[in-house]
Amino acid sequence: MTNDTRQPVVSVRSLSATFPDGNGGLHALGAVSFVVHPQEFVCVLGPSGSGKSTLLRILAGLLPPTSGEINFEGHHQPRIGFVFQQANLMPWRTVSQNIMLPLEVEKVPYEEACQKAQKLIELVGLDGFEKALPRDLSGGMAQRVALARALVHDPDILLLDEPFGSLDALTRERMWTELSRIWQADQKTVIMVTHSIGEALFLADRVLVLTARPGRIKLDLPVDLPRPREEEMRYTQHFGRLARRLKDAIE
Amino acid sequence: MDLNLTRKLEGFSDRTQWKHTHWIPVVVVLAAVAGWQALTTFAGLPAFILPSPAQVAVRFVTAIRDSSLLWHAAVTLSEVLLGLLAGTCSATLLGYAVAKSRAFERLASPFLVASQAIPIVAIAPLLVIWFGQGMFSKILICGLIVFFPVLVNTVVGLRAVPRSLNELMRSLHASPWQTLRLLEIPAALPIFLGGLQIGATLSVIGAVVGEFVGADRGLGFLINVGRGQYDTALVFVAVFTLIGMALSLYGMVIYLEHRLLAWQDRN
């Protein structure tokens, strides 16, 4: 996929950023350049403090870059689907109301919004929970709602910031399979930040490894594991080799 | 405090608990009335010191018959409601500005704190001198007394909006108006309503203070009249009406909370 000649969805050129993290330290991102192609699933991997979350936030327009530039294909203001570390749902809205939020912001007519939300509810497997409130959901279910909310307005790019970090190991692995399936069904371009090598290899077409602060791209590794990927694949030699390369790059 | 009260109320609406506790307040009230009646009967207190419950009840009926009670209560209630409305509106608008702009907060907060430091009872005479004996000065006093708690709770409520939800709205390119409507108002509502609870009862106090200082109508005026004429039963009638008014207002805010905050966890 790295030799892809298609028009990239997003191209990032010598992007750098320095921010106080609010605890006296600094989030720092060195000069980072890369492109992401349509329907590509890119994972950004790196030690803590490598500015991988900062990178995602800059892409989402939540933070201004200190220097460098980002170009989205054909848009000045791309549509973003963002999934946070926590589900980040509005506790006063039901599941379907939470999912409809992006459509409400875009002033999509109510009937149409309902239909789209219903499709996403089915896609993430939450049928029957449309009227449930976030307080009644488990962590995994809440994160599915967050995923559906990020997809409902058909975003140009889906940005995931360690979305499964707060889930228990079993739920997390089930969510990988789910996300993989949803991504294949929805044909989205995805950039996902993670600190888990297993997660990156299970999901990504390409893994970018960032160095510790200031974060720079140390390795751009295409993941040529066949899809659909299954649990068993994680015990193959090739998977082990790729994991080894990522591990070495991080340390 | 507010949450505790809400929980207690919800506990009461719970059928099983209701069954066991609903008779307690009734018994307490009946016992108090019986004790009061006994006191007036056996202690030989004259009616202008302490009228018996029966005398108060009779006075209550007369006051309703000659429609004076209804008229004075209506005056006070209008002052309370208009003052509450004015105080809440101005406090909410100003609170929004304070919560949104640190610069404005620095500019305004000395005045806001100072406004709270002045005892309302002390400036009530001034307001009556400037704005007359009519309803306007009372509405002003109610508004002032309601202002501060509502302002503080508006600011705290808006500041309590989770940052991550703000980021979500920004990632969706929501306009400031959409962020206000879809995020900030619902998120700040629980704390805001807590302020309104306090404000609603304070507003009743404000109206009575204003009427004490100078008025020709209202329940506070009625209390003054009763005192002047040694018609202590009338004072009791006015006091009970005020209590009823304050409780109904409080109950209305609680009802509003139940309707608007049904999504909150009730455990």
What was the ipTM of the complex prediction?
0.87
- Cβ contact, residue pair A84, B172, below 8 Å: no
Residues of B in contact with A104 (CB under 8 A): 178, 182
Residues of A in contact with B172 (CB under 8 A): 80, 101-102, 105-106, 153
Per-residue pLDDT at B17: 53
Mean pLDDT of A55-68: 88
Residues of A in contact with B165 (CB under 8 A): 88, 90
Measure A84 CA to nearest chain B CA, in Å. 8
On whether any CB of chain B is under 8 Å from the CB of A61, the answer is yes
Written as six digits, the tokens of A92 are 């006063």
Peptide bond preceding A228 in cis form (omega within 30 of 0): yes
The 3 state secondary structure assigned to chain A is CCCCCCCCCEEEEEEEEEEECCCCCEEEEEEEEEEECCCCEEEEECCCCCCHHHHHHHHCCCCCCCEEEEEECCECCCCEEEECCCCCCCCCCCHHHHHHHHHHHCCCCHHHHHHHHHHHHHHCCCCCCCCCCHHHCCHHHHHHHHHHHHHCCCCCEEEEECCCCCCCHHHHHHHHHHHHHHHHHHCCCEEEEECCHHHHHHHCCEEEEECCCCECEEEEEECCCCCCCCHHHHHCHHHHHHHHHHHHHHC
- Cβ contact, residue pair A77, B173, below 8 Å: yes
Written as six digits, the tokens of B79 are 């002052």
Residues of B in contact with A53 (CB under 8 A): none
Mean pLDDT of A8-26: 79
A-to-B residue pairs, Cβ atoms closer than 8 angstroms: 52
Provide CB contacts within 8 A for A129, sequence distance 6+.
A95, A121, A137, A141
- Cβ contact, residue pair A88, B182, below 8 Å: no
Instruction: Report the alpha-carbon distance of residue B230 to residue B239 in Å, rounded.
Output: 15
Mutation target among B171, B189, B267 for the A interface, most CBs of A within 10 A: B171
Query: Which residues of B fall below an 8 Å CB-CB distance to A?
Result: 162, 164-165, 167-174, 178, 182-183, 186-187, 261, 263-265
* 3 state DSSP class of B248: helix
* 3 state DSSP class of B241: helix
User: What is the DSSP-derived secondary structure letter of residue B180?
Assistant: I
For residue A96, pLDDT over 70 is answered with: yes
Measure A214 CA to nearest chain B CA, in Å. 24
Q: What is the pLDDT of residues A168-206, one digit of tens each?
A: 888 888 888 888 888 888 888 999 999 889 889 999 999
For residue B6, pLDDT over 60 is answered with: no
For A91, the closest of B170, B173, B263 (CB atoms) is B263
Q: What is the pLDDT of residues B71-121, one digit of tens each?
A: 999 999 999 999 999 999 999 999 999 999 999 999 988 888 888 888 888
Q: Given pLDDT bands bounded at 50, 70 and 90, which one contains residue A146?
A: very high
- Cβ contact, residue pair B171, A92, below 8 Å: no
Measure B19 CA to nearest chain A CA, in Å. 28
Spell out the domains of chain B, with CATH numbers in brackets: 1-36 (no CATH), 51-260 (1.10.3720.10)
Per-residue pLDDT at B159: 93
Q: Which residues pair with A81 in a beta bridge?
A: A158
What percentage of chain B carries pLDDT values higher than 90?
A: 69
- Cβ contact, residue pair A90, B172, below 8 Å: no
For A105, the closest of B162, B178, B261 (CB atoms) is B178
Q: What is the pLDDT of residues B142-188, one digit of tens each?
A: 999 999 999 999 999 999 999 999 999 999 999 999 999 999 999 99
pTM over 0.80? The answer is yes
Written as six digits, the tokens of B99 are 């919560």
Q: Are the CB atoms for A188 and A177 separated by under 8 Å?
A: no
Residues of A in contact with B181 (CB under 8 A): none
Mean pLDDT of A105-128: 91
For residue B3, pLDDT over 90 is answered with: no
Mean pLDDT of B2-28: 61
Residues in chain B, total:
267
For B182, the closest of A88, A101, A159 (CB atoms) is A101
